[in-house]
Amino acid sequence: MQRKRHKNFEDRAVYYACRCISDQAPNLQGSGWEYDLKKVYMIGILDNFVLNYSREAVYFHDACVIDRDTDDLVSNKFWCIFIELLNFKKSDSYLDNQLDKWLYALKNMSKMDEIPVCLQQPIFKKLFNIAEYIKLTKEEQMSYDQELKNEWDNNSALSYAKEKGVEEGIKEGERRKAISTARELKKMGISLNQIAAAIELSVEEIAAL
C-alpha cells in the first residue's frame, strides 16, 4: 500500500519484484539449478496518486513481460499489478465482483460509521474489526486483549464444567442402573459374589440393598 507518490515509484516496484526473483537462486554452487522460477507478483495499491502512464477511469493495471510487436507473453513468472484507488469511482450499487468490493472498502472505510449492506460478508466484518483494533491506543489494545483473554478463560471454564456435568450425569445414571440390576439378581437368589463379579458394585454395597 503506497500512500504518497515519490520519485521513480514504478522502478522501485520492479526492483522489489526482481529481488524476489533473484533470491530464488540456490546459495550452493554446482547444485544444477536450471532457473525453474516460481511466479512473483508485485501488487501495489496506490492511494492519493496514480501511475505516470495512467489513464482516467482505468484503475487496474496488469503488467508483465511481453513481446512488444506481437503482444505474446515472454514469461509468466513476473507480474506487476497496480491498483489506483483514485480512479476507482464505483458506488456501492455497482460493485460487480469481489475485487470491486475490496477496493470500495479500502477506499471508503475511513468514512464509514458502519458496515454497508454490500459488504455484509464475514471477510469484510473481519477487515473492519482489524481496522477498529488498529485505531485503538496501545493502552486500549492492552485492555481489549486482556478482556478477550478473560472471555476465552471463562468460556473454557464453562465448557469444562458442562462436559464434567454430563460425565458425572452418565456415571450417576450407570450407577442407578447397576443398583437396580443388582436388586433384581438378589431377588433371584444369585450370590453376592457372583453379582459383584458381574456388576461394578462391591459385595458390601450389594448386601446393603
Q: Confidence class of residue 207 from pLDDT cuts 50, 70 and 90?
A: confident
Q: Tell me: do 150 and 73 sit in the same domain.
A: no
**How many Å apart are CA 80 and CA 50, to the nearest integer?**
15
Q: Tell me: do 2 and 77 sit in the same domain.
A: yes
Has residue 87 got a pLDDT over 70? yes
Those residues whose C-beta lies under 8 Å from the C-beta of residue 178, and which sit 6 or more positions away, are 199, 200, 201
Distance set, CA 77 to CA 35, 60, 62, 66 (Å): 11, 19, 13, 12
Most confident of the following: 2-6, 34-38, 157-161: 34-38
Report which of residues 1 and 161 the model is more confident about: 1
Q: pLDDT digit string (tens) for 18-55?
A: 899 888 887 655 567 788 889 999 999 998 888 877 77
Residue 108 belongs to some domain of the structure: no
Q: Tell me: do 81 and 1 sit in the same domain.
A: yes
Of 50, 71, 89, the residue at which a domain comes to its end is 89
C-alpha cell at 140: 486500549
Q: Confidence class of residue 205 from pLDDT cuts 50, 70 and 90?
A: confident
Those residues whose C-beta lies under 8 Å from the C-beta of residue 109, and which sit 6 or more positions away, are 127, 128, 131
Q: pLDDT digit string (tens) for 136-158?
A: 898 988 988 888 888 888 777 66
Number of Cβ within a 10 Å radius of residue 192? 18
Residue 134 belongs to some domain of the structure: no
pTM (predicted TM-score):
0.58
**How many Å apart are CA 190 and CA 68, to the nearest integer?**
99
Residue 55 belongs to some domain of the structure: yes
Q: Tell me: do 79 and 152 sit in the same domain.
A: no
Q: pLDDT digit string (tens) for 91-124?
A: 988 898 999 999 999 888 888 888 888 999 999 9
Q: Tell me: do 64 and 3 sit in the same domain.
A: yes
The partner residues of 78 in beta bridges, in order of sequence, read: 40
- The number of domains in the chain is 2
DSSP secondary structure string for all residues of 54-90: --TT--EEEEEEE-TTT--EEEEEEEEEEEEGGG---
State the Cα torsion 12-16-21-26 to the nearest 10°.
Answer: 130
Residue 130 belongs to some domain of the structure: no
Q: Confidence class of residue 161 from pLDDT cuts 50, 70 and 90?
A: low
The pLDDT value recorded for residue 147 is 87
Has residue 165 got a pLDDT over 70? no
